[in-house]
């Protein structure tokens, strides 16, 4: 019995280790937060084979930023606008890197515009969305939820935003008929996008800015990258190269309208742009 | 051939995740992620289903013999199974649990075959309102069914809620009792809570008790299994009730077989109490069968929304879903439908494997523990749990935080060792689902959160 169980265990370990044997030249860790299967997890797994280091995922941005500030290893740190904004507005720098001497930005911003989607042939079209009392499933994160609520109310005051833990929970509720629409930056291909914050590649969908003047009509899920013990310019080029040529990134993100831009030059520019975005979410 | 190797790897993964506390199926998927990404999508889904099925069999054996809960759903097996083990009825407990689990697995497949065309009825049933009713009902069952006085159960439930509330709340952006300590933002982790409040009190109360050793091995012959199956007819009410509860609860998003196990266990406990057949700390076979039966029925039914409608209803399923989608495949019902037959065969094979190896494993343990003083086993279990806590923490780069949380919670576990701590643990586990379902209901009806 012991032999049998040992053989099983060894076979499992060997099978998994063969698949992970590939080594990369660099040895940069990737630090992020959120659950497995989430945006950071997927992005980290796309980057990891080229960067060579370990993926270190934490539950919250506070833990990941705290770890990043202490690590001695070259590392990339993935941060998103949702948590960042919350901490920025509180004047708390645990999840932001604006303080002088804090970790440098790598000047890369991943941007995925948000979309309203629904089940195909359900009759839940744009006319219903702008006129009737309907329910829209939204990720429960504070900034994302408040932004969506404000935007929807500017389009149709009868719309109610309903908070869910993640995209899977929104899909389950949509399929169960609890809600009529979902709000996401990465709609699954089996669903129909009826309204988008960015018309590029979604010509069939209505454009949010045609229905509202709200500053949130170009809402996007945004994440950025900071670095630790790393040259930001070199890191920036590496990320750009990896993500632009990666097939999985293309399938998961670029096909959903995500883009990796290289527009932020320094800490001050970062702060100005992110503060403007942050204000748009809450002041609008 | 490749598929056979994946099947064997899944059996190994299920065995390990069942035996090692804290290493749930979700963690196994994360560890094997890179390897799984190299597999065919069918093999990924099969790996998940087989590993999860097998882990339930081994989880109940480890709980029964060593008082080590492989996962939250094994805790009823720890309470009832280990008490039976101390009375020299460990073999019986393991055989009944394994056989009951097997029957439930087969029944779940049969129910699904009959109900395939109407399966959407089940998952459409569990909107936020029904989820809230079930979660509140489960909490009520736990409060009423635990052996403490009512007010103590309520206080323990409150303590569980309080512990779970510590940390950073994404939905409000607010923190509770974090005191600026980065690790506390992530909240109190489950593993030290289980060790401090469930495992350590169990060991402390068992340490000085004499263990009646059963030198008889489980006889792994056709006749012995036939005999166990035959004896289970005396529990047909329990089996039927728990299979149905487990099967239906398997569709509850986010909770699935954990909810099913808890509901079936506490329903049975209340029934046994009413019949005056439940004696505290003695171990109750119908309660053990109820928990294990519901567990395995739910393992199969929770897969059906994913396989029949492309809807992931647990974090593990969401991960499997993402693995498939990242290859540019649309994981819809038309993608999964052709797999259902083969997956069902793999599930049944894994159940047969679990049924027979659980007995074999119990014999191995029996042959070792009859030769040693069980006090040393408890000391070993305590040392292993410390190691597990440290390793689990190191996986999150917070090993000393995990140890510190354990240290802080241990006095509570020691002081309250004579209490049934299940209300506290389940409140800790159920608090987020309860709170979030109520937030959704408020948003749906009043538009405010």
Chain A residue whose CA is closest to B13: A12
Tell me the chain B residues in contact with residue A8 when contact means C-beta distances shorter than 8 Å.
Answer: 8-9, 11-12, 15
Interval B382-401: pLDDT, tens: 888 888 889 888 877 888 99
Question: Taking 80 as the threshold, does the pLDDT of residue B78 lie above it?
Answer: yes
A74: three-class secondary structure by DSSP: coil
Contact B439 A42 (CB under 8 A): no
User: For residue B337, is it left (φ>0), alpha (ψ between -120 and 50) or beta?
Assistant: alpha
Q: In the predicted model, what is the mean pLDDT of residues A252-271?
A: 62
- Grade residue A256 by pLDDT with cuts at 50, 70 and 90: low
Higher pLDDT, A83 or A256: A83
* ipTM score for this prediction: 0.82
Interval B85-112: pLDDT, tens: 888 888 888 889 989 999 999 999 999 8
Q: In the predicted model, what is the mean pLDDT of residues B427-444?
A: 92
Looking at A37-41, B22-26, B41-45, B336-340, which range is the least confident one?
B22-26
Question: Taking 60 as the threshold, does the pLDDT of residue A226 lie above it?
Answer: yes
Contacts of A10 (CB under 8 A, 6+ apart): none
CB B287 within 8 A of CB B269: yes
pLDDT of residue B237: 94
B417: three-class secondary structure by DSSP: coil
CA atoms of B363 and B214, how far apart (whole Å): 11
Contacts of B7 (CB under 8 A, 6+ apart): B46, B50, B346, B349, B350
CB B9 within 8 A of CB A15: yes
Mode of pairing for the β-strands spanning A105-113 and A52-58: unpaired
Contact B328 A251 (CB under 8 A): yes
pLDDT of residue A276: 67
CB A65 within 8 A of CB A95: yes
Interval B52-70: pLDDT, tens: 999 888 888 888 888 887 7
Best CA proximity match to A174, nearest among A157, A198, A197, A192 = A192
Q: In the predicted model, what is the mean pLDDT of residues A162-186?
A: 90
Chain A residue whose CA is closest to B178: A62
pLDDT of residue B264: 95
Mode of pairing for the β-strands spanning A105-113 and A259-261: antiparallel
Question: Taking 60 as the threshold, does the pLDDT of residue B423 lie above it?
Answer: yes
Tell me the chain A residues in contact with residue B33 when contact means C-beta distances shorter than 8 Å.
Answer: 36, 45
| Distance from the A141 Cα atom to the nearest Cα atom in chain B, whole angstroms | 5
Tell me the chain B residues in contact with residue A252 when contact means C-beta distances shorter than 8 Å.
Answer: 325-326
Question: Taking 50 as the threshold, does the pLDDT of residue A14 lie above it?
Answer: yes
Contacts of A98 (CB under 8 A, 6+ apart): A88, A267, A270, A271
Among candidates B34, B182, B312 on the partner chain, residue whose Cβ is nearest the Cβ of A20: B34
Contact A20 B13 (CB under 8 A): no
What residues pair up with A136 in beta bridges, in sequence order?
A: A161, A181
pLDDT of residue B196: 93
Contact B123 A252 (CB under 8 A): no
Query: Is the dihedral angle over the CA atoms A19, A24, A29, A30 positive or is it negative?
Result: negative
- Grade residue B50 by pLDDT with cuts at 50, 70 and 90: very high
The winner for highest mean pLDDT among A77-91, A125-139, B35-49 is A125-139
pLDDT of residue B173: 83
B349: three-class secondary structure by DSSP: helix
Interval A34-81: pLDDT, tens: 876 677 888 888 888 889 899 998 888 999 999 999 999 999 999 887
Best CA proximity match to B109, nearest among B292, B334, B342, B338 = B342
Q: In the predicted model, what is the mean pLDDT of residues B134-155?
A: 90
CB A94 within 8 A of CB A66: yes
Q: In the predicted model, what is the mean pLDDT of residues A175-187?
A: 91
Higher pLDDT, A223 or A134: A134
pLDDT of residue B22: 63
| Distance from the B230 Cα atom to the nearest Cα atom in chain A, whole angstroms | 27
Distance from chain centroid for Cα A221: 6
Contact A188 B31 (CB under 8 A): no
Interval A198-209: pLDDT, tens: 888 788 899 999
pTM of structure: 0.81
DSSP A255: G
| Distance from the A33 Cα atom to the nearest Cα atom in chain B, whole angstroms | 10
CA atoms of B238 and B290, how far apart (whole Å): 6
pLDDT of residue A116: 97
């Amino acid at each position: 019995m012991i032999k049998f169980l040992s053989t099983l265990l060894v076979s499992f370990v060997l099978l998994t280790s063969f698949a992970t044997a590939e080594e990369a030249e660099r040895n940069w860790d990737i630090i992020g937060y959120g659950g497995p299967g989430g945006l950071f997890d997927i992005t980290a797994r796309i980057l990891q084979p080229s960067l060579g280091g370990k993926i270190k995922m934490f539950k919250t941005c506070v833990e990941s930023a705290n770890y990043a500030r202490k690590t001695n290893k070259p590392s990339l740190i993935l941060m998103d606008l949702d948590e960042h904004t919350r901490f920025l507005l509180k004047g708390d720098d645990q999840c932001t890197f604006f303080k002088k001497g804090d970790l440098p930005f790598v000047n890369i911003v991943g941007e995925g515009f948000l979309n309203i989607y629904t089940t195909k042939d359900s009759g839940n079209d744009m006319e219903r969305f702008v006129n009737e009392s309907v329910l829209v499933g939204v990720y429960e994160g504070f900034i994302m939820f408040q932004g969506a609520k404000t935007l929807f109310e500017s389009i149709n005051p009868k719309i109610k935003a309903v908070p869910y833990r993640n995209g899977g929970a929104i899909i389950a509720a949509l399929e169960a008929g609890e809600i009529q629409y979902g709000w996401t930056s990465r709609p699954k291909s089996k669903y129909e996008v009826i309204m988008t914050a960015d018309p590029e590649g979604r010509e069939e969908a209505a454009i949010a800015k045609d229905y509202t003047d709200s500053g949130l009509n170009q809402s996007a899920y945004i994440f950025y990258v900071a670095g630790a013990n790393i040259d930001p310019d070199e890191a920036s080029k590496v990320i750009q190269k990896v993500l632009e040529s990666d097939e999985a990134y293309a399938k998961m993100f670029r096909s959903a309208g995500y883009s990796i831009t290289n527009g932020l030059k320094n800490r001050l520019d970062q702060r100005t742009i992110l503060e403007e975005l942050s204000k748009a979410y809450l002041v609008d | 051939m490749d598929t056979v190797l994946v099947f064997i790897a899944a059996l190994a993964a299920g065995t390990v995740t069942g035996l090692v506390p804290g290493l749930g199926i979700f963690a196994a998927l994360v560890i094997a992620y890179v390897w799984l990404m190299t597999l065919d999508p069918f093999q990924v889904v099969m790996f998940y289903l087989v590993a999860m099925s097998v882990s339930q069999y081994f989880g109940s054996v480890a709980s029964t013999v060593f008082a080590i809960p492989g996962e939250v759903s094994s805790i009823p097996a720890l309470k009832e199974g280990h008490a039976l083990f101390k009375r020299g009825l460990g073999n019986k407990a393991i055989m009944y649990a394994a056989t009951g689990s097997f029957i439930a697995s087969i029944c779940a497949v049969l129910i699904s075959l009959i109900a395939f065309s109407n399966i959407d009825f089940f998952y459409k049933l569990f909107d936020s309102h029904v989820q809230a009713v079930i979660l509140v009902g489960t909490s009520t069952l736990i409060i009423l069914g635990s052996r403490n006085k009512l007010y103590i159960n309520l206080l323990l439930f409150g303590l569980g809620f309080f512990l779970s509330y510590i940390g950073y709340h994404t939905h409000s952006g607010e923190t509770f009792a974090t005191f600026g300590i980065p690790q506390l933002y992530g909240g109190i982790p489950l593993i030290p809570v289980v060790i401090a409040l469930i495992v350590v009190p169990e060991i402390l109360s068992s340490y000085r008790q004499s263990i009646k050793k059963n030198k008889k091995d489980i006889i792994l012959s056709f006749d012995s299994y036939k005999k166990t199956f035959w004896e289970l007819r005396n529990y047909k009410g329990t089996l039927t009730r728990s299979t149905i509860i487990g099967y239906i609860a398997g569709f509850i998003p986010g909770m699935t077989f954990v909810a099913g196990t808890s509901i079936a266990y506490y329903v049975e406990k209340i029934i046994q109490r009413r019949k005056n057949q439940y004696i505290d700390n003695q171990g109750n076979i119908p309660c053990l069968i109820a928990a294990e039966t519901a567990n395995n029925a739910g393992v199969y039914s929770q897969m059906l929304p994913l396989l029949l409608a492309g809807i992931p209803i647990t974090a593990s399923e969401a991960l499997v879903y993402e693995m498939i989608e990242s290859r540019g495949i649309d994981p819809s019902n038309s993608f999964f439908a052709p797999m259902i037959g083969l997956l069902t065969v793999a599930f049944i094979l894994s159940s047969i494997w679990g049924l027979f190896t659980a007995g074999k494993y119990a014999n191995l343990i029996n042959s070792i523990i009859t030769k040693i003083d069980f006090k040393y086993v408890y000391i070993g279990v305590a040392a292993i749990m410390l190691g597990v806590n440290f390793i689990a923490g190191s996986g999150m780069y917070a090993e000393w935080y995990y140890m510190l949380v354990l240290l802080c919670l241990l006095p509570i576990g020691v002081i309250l060792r004579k209490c049934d701590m299940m209300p506290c643990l389940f409140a800790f586990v159920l608090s987020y689902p309860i709170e979030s379902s109520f937030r959704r209901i408020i948003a749906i009806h009043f538009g405010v959160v």
